Chain A
Amino acid sequence: MPTSSADLVARLKKGDLRAASRLMSRAEAHDDETLNSLGAIYKAAGQAHIVGLTGVPGSGKSTLVSKLVEGMREDGRKVGIIAIDPSSPFSGGAILGDRIRMTNLVMDEGVFIRSMATRGSTGGLARSALTSVDILDAAGFDVIIIETVGVGQDEVEIAKASHSTLVVSAPGLGDDVQAIKAGILEIADIHVVSKCDRSDSNRTITDLKVMLAMGINIAIKDRDGKPLWQVPVVGTSSETGEGIKTLIDTLDKHRNVHLNTELGEERLRQIAEYRTFKTAEDLLRNRFFKSTNKTIKNVVEQIAKRESDPFTASNDLLKKIAF
């Protein structure tokens, strides 16, 4: 007889990581009983610093996470990692490869790594990834890093739905500024240029800085127009360790600018809005496809016969939901 999710939540709040990992599976599976417990988890969470990290495949994200976390562990912070890799569009299966870059962390009791697959656009990735973040948060992790591949809207938005968003670019992956090509230049709170042990990394840094200087005014200012946060470019190397400490300090600074400030509160509202929308979307989709309800079948039948149309019918369906 499987343990009830309520039990698991109780264990989770005491920091039981086995409970955490099981709850993540159940939440991802959209298990009804578990969904009822997720609210309690959400409310228990809210202490951790959530860091979103994105960049094109191969830019060195996972390796960077492994070094970053090593550094954060030096001052005792517990770190959770949600590492997201793409599913195969053909089979729906996936080989989740991020963890392999993080073997240095596996024996550390203060680190928790969870791999997730994107599962295509209807897989509810945002909901389940952010729920997993809550779970780690409620379990007492101080920092939670979400690594997503910077391609695909969902993946980018997830990285954005964090307190601090890192965008990673690497030398040697082509001549263009990758972040622009991937459409993720603007979402960065901090730009990271990885692999700075390589001789061509200076160019990547310069290109990026030029782009930022030219581009939209990305500096965040207070009411008096004084810049609160100027998006920096930090060079790192996971080979030599260069820049890792600086990156940690920069992350902390970014966190402080947002802690208990109007700016921070605004960001929390944005995240809340995004999550609500994604969760609603997901619940709706689930209910729609899971429904054994005759209504939907009838509606579909009518639309197919052109007796009704998708617009009127959707509106009618939505009216049944009270906002």
Chain B
Amino acid sequence: MSTLNKEDPKQLVKQLELWEDNEVNTFLNKQPEREDNFYTLGGFPVKRTYTALDTKDIPIDDIGLPGQYPFTRGPYPTMYRSRYWTMRQIAGFGTGEDTNNRFKYLISQGQTGLSTDFDMPTLMGYDSDHPMSDGEVGREGVAIDTLADMEALFDGIDLEKISVSMTINPTAWILLAMYIALAKRRGDDLNKLSGTVQADILKEYVAQKEYIYPISPSVRIVRDCITYCAENMKRYNPINISGYHISEAGSSPLHEIAFTMANATTYVEEVVKTGMDVDQFAPRLAFFFVGQADFFEEIAKFRAARRVWAKIMKNQFGAKKAESMRLRFHCQTAAASLTKPQYKVNIMRTTVQALAAVLGGAQSLHTNGMDEAFAIPTEEAMKIALRTQQVIADETNVANVIDPLGGSYFLENLTTQYENKIFEILDEVKEKGGTIKLIEEGWFQKHIADFAYETALKKQDGQKPVIGVNKYVEENEQADITTHPYDSTTADRQISRLQTVRATRDNNKIEKLLNELIEVAKDERQNIMPITIELVDAGATMGDIVEKLRTLWGTYRENPVF
């Protein structure tokens, strides 16, 4: 028996032909395949099987080794063999105290990082007693108005020891300022703080729809977060450039990565414009992707994302340090793939998605609760989701070999196809006038809306099977589930602390600082962080700061695209 020989593709072509003529045909004659053509969830056609012919054109250096440029196989040389990914379940509801309890519970269950979700008023920059906040305080996340809330949120948690992620965007810089002010009050070393604010405003305009100001001042704020952290917080990720929301808003996995890269390069360009060396800040840029349902496609997607980023940083931005080129990402399993009917099946879905994230080399992971389609998660749902990760880590041995699917004909081929398509899209973005222009024109949004609509139609006609929804449906199913209760005293509790802060602070000082803030905001060369830290430390509310800047910058209004 001869060995498969890469040098002799002819032999392989021949072998394939014979196989198709003989074995395959014999079987096809007996029973046709389920479909004429098979596709990934993202629409990439897939073949019956893959061989060395499908990888022969891939440069061996593109695949490389873990921890080596272009990092296809992982950002680090030892990966999970030294430390598992960070198990980071999101928590956030009610007041700071309420969420603090959940944090402590999750830590006691073995969680290794914290992740905070905020309520809509906090996400959008309204104080809890603003009319727009009515009915929303502490409902979809934790309510934060002032530094006092932040103190309650992290009470008894050592910020030098645990990394904290905050899902916050247009108001990210204010939350970051509060985090810093809190750490300073506690006497923590800023260079020991680790974690991230999401602060990825560009994807807000296209996907998550949390925005306050027009694009240009908003990007400037992001720039300020990045440069401030590069100079003052060595271990902190000032941004989490996110494809997750793009995907959940409906996009294909390909567009998830391509659009995220378009956004990422825009931030890098903005920071470089300030004169900061790319290697000074790029190592702390972090990413956030979804873990979708198409198992292999997701793994290929993650691997391609790493390769693309490495090449962009090296070739386009001239980065020198390896750390600037290695893409690290947090992953969340795909919430929009979870269903209300037969909700326990969500645990299986999440498990498979989580496994893809691990095999794809994620640095941090949130697994969704089985109650995702009902309300924000209960303690019980989060525990099982955390256990899912722990089972993968501790019981399956998948974490012992790095990039175990590397070298798979199929996977390497798909990884490279992904890479090529991502670069094609990035070229198109450039050619059409750049990321910000295309956001204004709704170009990204249109792609997302189209795929979302297509998905809805495919679900409707069963082309995209969803167990419990369009397949194996149980008539008259009664959901036997306890969901997260909303505590109706939340708003009162929250507003009363807010009023206490307002009553006890030095209002003249706040006034003076707010005027300084405006001056800093007007001068693009200045950094908005220091004055904001002063403000929150003096008891300014998030609403004070946001409204003041609205007088200068105005409000963004979107042109919806269908």
Could you tell me which A residues sit within 8 Å of B by CB distance?
95, 97, 100-101, 103
A95:B557 contact, CB within 8 angstroms? no
Expressed in whole angstroms, the Cα–Cα distance for A97 and B560 within the complex equals 8
Q: Which residues of A contact B50 (CB under 8 A)?
A: none
* B562 part of interface (Cβ distance < 8 Å): yes
Q: How many residues of B contact A (CB 8 A)?
A: 4
Could you list which residues of chain B lie within 8 angstroms of chain A, going by C-beta atoms? 557, 559-560, 562
Q: Is the CB of B557 within 8 A of A103?
A: yes
Q: Which residues from chain B contact A103 at a C-beta distance below 8 Å?
A: 557
Nearest B residue to A100 by beta-carbon distance? B560
Question: CB-nearest residue of chain A relative to B433?
Answer: A172
How distant is A13 from chain B, measured CB to nearest CB, in Å? 36
Q: Which residue of B lies closest to A62 (CB)?
A: B559
For the complex formed, measure the closest distance between the CB of A241 and the CB atoms of chain B, giving whole angstroms.
Answer: 11
Q: Tell me the nearest residue of chain B to A104, going by C-beta.
A: B557
Question: From DSSP, what is the main secondary structure of chain A's interface residues?
Answer: helix
> Across the interface, which residues of A come within 8 angstroms of B557, CB to CB?
103
What's the minimum C-beta distance from B14 to chain A, rounded to whole angstroms? 50
Q: Specify which chain A residues have a CB less than 8 angstroms from the CB of B559 in the assembled complex.
A: 100-101
Closest 5 CB pairs of A and B: A95-B562, A100-B560, A103-B557, A97-B560, A100-B559
Cα distance A101–B560 when bound, in Å?
Answer: 10
A213 to B167, CA, bound (A): 58
C-alpha spacing A66/B559, complex, angstroms: 14
* B residues near A101, Cβ cutoff 8 Å: 559
6 contacts between A and B (CB under 8 A): A95-B562, A97-B560, A100-B559, A100-B560, A101-B559, A103-B557
CA distance A97 to B562 in the complex (A): 10
Cα of A47 to Cα of B312 in the assembled complex, Å: 64
Q: For residue A97, which residues in chain B have a CB less than 8 angstroms away from its CB?
A: 560
Give complex CA distance A100, B560 in Å.
8
When C-beta atoms are compared, the residue in chain A nearest to B558 turns out to be: A100
B514 → chain A closest CB, angstroms: 25
CB proximity of B518 to chain A, nearest CB, Å: 19
Count contacts between A and B, CB distance < 8 Å. 6
Tell me how far the C-beta of B392 lies from the nearest C-beta in chain A, rounded to whole angstroms: 44
Identify the closest chain A residue to B554 (Cβ).
Answer: A239
Q: How far is the CA of A103 from the CA of B560 in the complex (A)?
A: 13
Give chain A residues whose Cβ lies under 8 Å from the Cβ of B562.
Answer: 95
Q: Give, as a whole number of angstroms, the nearest-CB distance from A93 to chain B.
A: 12
| Chain B: minimal CB distance from A149 (Å) | 16
Q: Give bound CA distance, A101 to B562, whole Å.
A: 15
- For residue A95, which residues in chain B have a CB less than 8 angstroms away from its CB? 562
A117, chain B: closest CB distance, angstroms: 15
A253 to B559, CA, bound (A): 33
Bound-complex Cα distance A83 to B325 (A): 51
In the bound complex, how far is the Cα of B559 from the Cα of A101, in angstroms? Answer: 8
Complex Cα–Cα for A100 and B559 (A): 8
Per the bound structure, the CA–CA distance linking A97 and B558 in Å amounts to 12
Min CB–CB distance B561 → chain A (angstroms): 10
| Chain A contacts for B560, CB-based, 8 A | 97, 100
Q: In the assembly, what is the distance between CA of A17 and CA of B489, in Å?
A: 41
Q: In this complex, what residue of B is CB-closest to A97?
A: B560
* Cα–Cα distance between A103 and B556 once the two chains are bound (Å): 12
- Cα A293 to Cα B562 in complex, Å, equals 44
Question: What CA separation (Å) do A101 and B557 show in the bound complex?
Answer: 8
Separation in Å of the B276 CB from the closest CB of chain A? 28
CA distance A103 to B555 in the complex (A): 12
CA–CA, A95 and B453, complex, Å: 15
Q: Please, how many angstroms separate the alpha-carbon atoms of A97 and B557 in the complex? A: 13
A64 to B502 CA separation, bound complex (whole angstroms): 41
Q: Closest approach, in angstroms, between the C-beta of A110 and any C-beta of chain B?
A: 22
Query: How far apart are B544's CB and chain A's nearest CB, in angstroms?
Result: 24
Q: Which residues on B sit within 8 Å (CB–CB) of A100?
A: 559-560
Task: Write the nearest CB–CB distance from B367 to chain A, whole angstroms.
Answer: 37
Please measure, in the bound complex, the distance between the C-alpha atom of A36 and the C-alpha atom of B473, giving whole angstroms. Answer: 54
- The minimal Cβ–Cβ distance linking B132 to chain A, given in whole angstroms, is 14
A252 to chain B, nearest CB (A): 28
Complex CA distance for A103 and B562, rounded to whole angstroms: 18
A237 to chain B, nearest CB (A): 13
* Distance (whole angstroms) from the CB of B440 to the closest CB of chain A: 11
Give the Cβ gap from B44 to chain A, nearest Cβ, in Å: 29
A100 to B557: give the CA distance in the assembly, Å. 9
B439 to A: closest C-beta gap in Å: 16
Q: How far is the CB of A154 from chain B (nearest CB, A)?
A: 24
CB distance from A105 to the nearest CB of B (A): 13
| Nearest-neighbor residue (CB-CB) of B562 within chain A | A95
CB distance from A60 to the nearest CB of B (A): 11
Minimum CB–CB distance from B438 to chain A (whole Å) comes to 14
From residue A197, how far is it (CB to closest CB) to chain B in Å? 12
Residue ID in chain A nearest B441 by CB atoms: A58
CA distance A322 to B562 in the complex (A): 49
User: A83 → chain B, closest Cβ, in Å?
Assistant: 15
The CA of A82 and the CA of B562, in the complex, are separated in Å by 22
Bound Cα distance from A97 to B442, whole angstroms = 14
The answer for the CA separation of A95 and B557 in the assembled complex, in Å, is 18
Q: How far is the CA of A188 from the CA of B532 in the complex (A)?
A: 51
Smallest beta-carbon distance B483→chain A, Å? 34
Q: In the complex, how many angstroms separate the beta carbon of A246 from the nearest chain B beta carbon? A: 22
Q: Give complex CA distance A227, B562 in Å.
A: 48
Cα distance, A103 to B559, chains bound together (Å)? 12
In the complex, A60 Cα to B557 Cα: how many Å?
A: 14
The distance in angstroms between the C-alpha atoms of A97 and B561, with both chains bound, is 10
How far is the CB of B216 from the nearest CB of chain A, in Å?
Answer: 12
A91 to chain B, nearest CB (A): 13
In this complex, what residue of A is CB-closest to B214?
A239
Residue of A nearest to B557 (CB): A103
Closest to B561 in A: A97
CB closest chain-A residue, reference B437: A172
| Nearest chain A CB to B499 CB, angstrom units | 28
Q: What's the least CB distance linking B447 to chain A, in Å?
A: 18
B442, chain A: closest CB distance, angstroms: 11
Given the complex of chains A and B, what is the CA–CA distance between A205 and B559 in angstroms? 26
What's the nearest-Cβ distance from chain A to residue B374, in Å? 31
CA A97 to CA B559, docked complex, whole Å: 9
Q: Considering the chains assembled together, what is the distance between the CA atoms of A279 and B559 in angstroms? A: 35
CB distance from B468 to the nearest CB of A (A): 31
Closest chain B residue, CB of each to CB of A95: B562
- A95 and B561 CA atoms in complex are apart in Å by 10
Smallest beta-carbon distance A106→chain B, Å: 12
A147 → B minimal CB distance (Å)? 16
Interchain CA distance A159-B562 in the complex, whole Å: 27
CA distance A257 to B538 in the complex (A): 61
Whole-angstrom CA separation of A95 from B559 in the bound complex: 13
CB B215 to nearest CB in A, in angstroms, measures: 13
